[in-house]
Amino acid sequence: MAKMRYVILQQQQELQFVEMPADYAYQLSALNLRLNKEISKLTALEIPTLPLAIAECDTLDLLQEQYSIQNGLHYINELEQSFSSIDEKSYPIISLLTEIRALQAQLEQWYEEEFE
C-alpha cells in the first residue's frame, strides 16, 4: 500500500482534507501557496476562490461526519478546470496553469503505476 499524506486546506471556516501520495503532498502545498500569492494579480472578472494550505500530516482520522477526504487527483483536476476557465488578458495565467498541469500529469502517472 502506498504511503499517503494529507494536506489540510482552509477557506474561511471551511476545511478540506486532500489525500496525496506522500511524495507529492509538499508539491500541492507549495502550489497552493503560490496560487494564493498570485491570484490577487489576476484581472479577470471571474476569479476562483482558493482555500489556503494550512497543514500537512501523515495520518488523519476524521471525527466529524461533515468532513470527508478528497482524492488528490480529483482535487487537482477541479483546480485545473477552475483556472483554465479564467478569461485573463493581463496576467500570464499560462504559467500558473503550467504548474497545475505539471502536478496533474505527475499524479496521473503515479495513479496509473500504483493501480496497474
Q: How does pLDDT run across 22-64, given as a tens digit for each residue?
A: 999 999 999 999 999 999 899 998 899 999 999 999 999 999 9
Closest to 100 measured CA to CA, from 45, 44, 48: 48
pLDDT tier at 70 (50, 70, 90 boundaries)? Answer: very high
Residue 18: which domain range? 4-115
- Inter-residue contact 10 to 54 (CB < 8 Å): yes
pTM: 0.92
pLDDT number for residue 13: 92
Residue 92: band (very low, low, confident or very high) from pLDDT cuts 50, 70, 90: confident
Angstrom distance (rounded) from CA 34 to CA 14: 20
pLDDT, one tens digit per residue, over 71-86 is 999 999 999 999 999 9
Give the pLDDT band of residue 112 (cuts 50, 70, 90). Answer: very high
In the chain, how many domains are there?
1
| Angle in degrees, 0-180, between the axes of helices 22-38 and 72-84, rounded to the nearest 10 | 20
